[in-house]
Amino acid sequence: MICTRCGSNNLANAAFCSQCASRLAPEIQPMYRYASRGTTVLVLGILSIMVCSIMGPIAWSMGGEELRRIAAGETSPMGQQSAFAGRICGIVATVMLALTGLFVLWAVATIH
């Protein structure tokens, strides 16, 4: 924590400055309306690629919503990278799901 009076660097939990003994103001932590879901989106995105493609649209949707909340300041920006990566994984899984569906329809149509 930096002293506003003398500019010296102090321990994070110090109440008084080690150089000038003035009282240090605690840092104010921002409050957010929603908890971050970045990790959840990332896990859903990875699972949608590895296990079940049906989770792809869910990860895509949740990732988009989480990025919107971060941009609006309603959620902590700490989960932005996870939400972005999970959203991309969701998009990839959704495309794979659509291609698989088209392949199955083509295979069924050519058999009969």
pLDDT, tens only, 46-73: 999 999 999 999 999 999 999 999 999 9
| Length reported for the chain | 112
Diameter over CA atoms, the chain: 88
Q: Is the pLDDT of residue 41 over 90?
A: yes
- At 17, list the tokens: 């400055």
Higher pLDDT, 37 or 21: 37
Q: Is the pLDDT of residue 104 over 80?
A: yes
pLDDT, residue 75, reads 93
Reported as a single tens digit per residue, the pLDDT across 76-93 is 999 999 999 999 999 999
